[in-house]
Amino acid sequence: MGKIIDIKLLKNQAYEGIKKKIINLTLRPNEQLVEQRLAKELGISKSPIREAIQRLEREGLVYSLPFKGGFVADVSEQDIREIFQLREALERFCVRNACLIFSGEDLKRIGKIISKSDKALQQGDLKRAYLIDIQLHDLLIRSSKNAKIIQAYSNLRDHLDRYWHIASLISGRVTKSHQEHMSIIEAIAQKDETQAEKRISEHLHSILEEFIQSKEFRS
C-alpha cells in the first residue's frame, strides 16, 4: 500500500513541478521537454516525468512530435482570444451578480485587496501587486456560488496563469489593471450592473489587446 502511495506522490510531484515551470515561463513556449534533465532537476525518475508530460499534453500545456518527444505548448493568438472570450462571459455574469448580492462586508474584503495592491505598487513591488490583483478576480468568481462557473474558471486557471505571467512583464500593465479594478469595484459598490459589466469587459479587452501586441508575446 505504501509503495502505491509513493508512486502516486511521485507522479503528482512530477506533474506539479513541470506544470509550474511551464506556467512561470521557466520552460518557454515550444521548448523541448528533456525527460532526463527534468528528472534530475526534480529529483524524480524518468517514468513519472513521462506520465506527467502525457497528462500535461491532455490538458493542452504540452504537445508532442513523432520521434522528438514533448514540447511546451505555444501561446497562440487564437488560443488567447478563445480563453478570454470564455473568461469575459464568466466574469461579466459574476460582476453583475456581485452588484445584486454584495454586502458591506463583501465590499470591505475587496477594499482590503485593493489597498494591499495599492501598497505593493507604491513600494514598487509589481509582482506582489499582480498576484494580489489576481485574488480580486478569484473572489468575484467564488462569490457567484455557482459550482459550474467556479469549475469552468478553475479549468482555465493553468492557461490564465501562464498568460498572467507574460502580461505582468508588459510595462505599465499591472498599474493599469489596478486602476481598472478600482473602477469595476466602484460600479459594484454603486450596484450599477450595466457599468460593472461594461468596465470588466473593457478591462479584459485592454489586457487582451496589449498582450497580443506586446513584444513579450511576440518574442
Homologous superfamily of domain range 77-218 = GntR ligand-binding domain-like (1.20.120.530)
pLDDT exceeds cutoff 80 at 10:
yes
Using CA atoms, how far residue 35 sits from 54, 72, 122, in Å, is 12, 13, 42
pTM over 0.95: no
Domain limits of the chain?
Answer: 2-72, 77-218
End-to-end C-alpha distance for the chain, whole angstroms: 48
Q: What is the pLDDT of residues 106-165, one digit of tens each?
A: 999 999 999 999 999 999 998 888 888 889 999 999 999 999 999 999 888 888 888 877
Torsional sign, CA 206, 212, 217, 219: negative
Q: Indicate whether 208 pLDDT > 50.
A: yes
Say whether 70 sits in a helix, a strand or coil: strand
| Spatial separation of the C-alpha atoms in residues 32 and 73, rounded to whole Å | 10
Q: Which residue has the cell 452588484?
A: 99
What confidence tens digit (pLDDT) does each residue in 61-78 have? Answer: 999 999 899 999 988 889
Tens digits of residue pLDDT in 163-172: 877 777 777 8
- Tell me, yes or no, if the two domains 2-72 and 77-218 fold the same way: no
> CB 194: neighbour CB atoms within 10 A?
10
The domain made up of 2-72 has a fold known as Arc Repressor Mutant, subunit A (1.10.10)
